[in-house]
């Protein structure tokens, strides 16, 4: 896998399709493992700054970040979850930034818990 940036589509029930990219520079081992698993899907849960879903990836924190921004795609090792941040925050546990997505971030606040999400290669 030689691409530094892997274009992805994020389909969210009740919202539609978002464009994004996984960025190897942020966490090469985590991104490579996740890309091999695509497409992945799950049911959405929420934090006050992000939506997330459980993914079949079990890795430790790689290049953990202490601050997240709206538009970040993140991996949360303690829960094996992929998250899409819609606000700036200081996460309570280690997070690994794995990419970026584009959207009207405020619309993600209103996503229904339990809605389906799928991430696939573009």
In angstroms, the CA 38 to CA 117 distance is 13
Of the candidates 53, 45, 43, the one whose C-alpha atom is nearest the C-alpha of residue 74 is 53
Please count the structural domains in the chain. Answer: 1
Q: Which two tokens stand for residue 119?
A: 């991430």
Query: 96 and 30 in contact (C-beta within 8 Å)?
Result: yes
Give 11's Cβ-side CA count (13 Å radius).
10
Q: What is the full per-residue pLDDT of the chain (122 aa) written as tens digits?
A: 458 999 999 999 999 999 999 999 999 999 999 999 999 999 999 999 999 999 999 998 899 999 999 999 999 999 999 999 999 999 888 899 999 999 889 899 999 999 999 999 99
In angstroms, the CA 78 to CA 86 distance is 20
Domain that holds residue 90: 5-121
Helix (H) or strand (E) holding 35: helix 28-37
Residue in the block written with tokens 């997505």: 101
Give, as one character, the DSSP assignment of residue 111: P
Residue 90 belongs to a domain with what CATH number? 2.40.100.20
pTM of the model: 0.94
């Amino acid at each position: 896998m030689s691409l530094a940036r892997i274009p992805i589509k994020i389909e969210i029930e009740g919202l539609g399709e978002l464009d994004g990219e996984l960025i190897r520079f942020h966490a090469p081992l985590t991104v490579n493992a996740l890309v091999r698993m695509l497409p992945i899907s799950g049911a959405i849960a929420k934090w006050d700054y992000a939506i997330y879903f459980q993914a079949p990836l079990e890795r430790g924190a790689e290049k953990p970040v202490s601050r997240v921004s709206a538009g970040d795609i993140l991996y949360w090792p303690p829960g094996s979850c992929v998250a899409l941040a819609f606000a700036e925050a200081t996460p309570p546990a280690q997070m690994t930034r794995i990419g970026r997505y584009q959207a009207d971030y405020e619309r993600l606040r209103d996503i229904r818990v339990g809605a389906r999400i799928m991430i696939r290669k573009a």
